[in-house]
Amino acid sequence: EAQVTQNPRYLITVTGKKLTVTCSQNMNHEYMSWYRQDPGLGLRQIYYSMNVEVTDKGDVPEGYKVSRKEKRNFPLILESPSPNQTSLYFCASSDSGGGYGYTFGSGTRLTVV
């Protein structure tokens, strides 16, 4: 089944403790992206990647890192999480920048205390 898989689905952590949210897609898509979703602010893009080793900042990249060492994986790294990074995170992939849009993973609900 074609899908985007994120892990974990739920995560509660403490301020400053490094964490990684994994994302994997099995559709051989070139484009991958991370979004966060907050009430009243909608979906905001954090980082996106056009191919292996090619990444670029979205609208809210501060406090986040990404890497794209393999085509299928696009992990999101929070080196020192803070409470304002409490949010619902979505990973997404696409086989083109436009036209087909993004297919989204099921989401990761992160709480930083």
Partner 1 sequence: GQNIDQPTEMTATEGAIVQINCTYQTSGFNGLFWYQQHAGEAPTFLSYNVLDGLEEKGRFSSFLSRSKGYSYLLLKELQMKDSASYLCAVPYNQGGKLIFGQGTELSVKP
Q: Is the peptide bond before 39 cis (omega within 30 degrees of 0)?
A: no
CA distance 100 to 16: 38
Which CB atom, from 12 or from 14, has the smaller least distance to partner 1?
12
CB closer to partner 1, 48 vs 64: 48
Residue closer to partner 1, measured from CB, 69 or 99: 99
Site string for partner 1, 2-41 (x = CB under 8 A): -----------------------------xxx-x----xx
Residue 30, burial from CB neighbour count under 10 angstroms (0-12, 13-18, 19+): middle
Residues 37-76, mask of contacts with partner 1 (x by CB under 8 A) = ---xxxxxx--xxx-----x-xx-----------------
Rank residues 85 and 94 by Cβ distance to partner 1 and give the closer one: 94
Using the rule CB under 8 A, which residue among 73, 86, 103, 111 binds partner 1?
A: 103
Percent helix, strand and coil across the chain, each to the nearest 5? 5, 50, 45
Which residue bears the tokens 């899908």? Answer: 3
What SS3 class is residue 111?
A: strand
Binding of residue 1 to partner 1 (CB under 8 A) = no
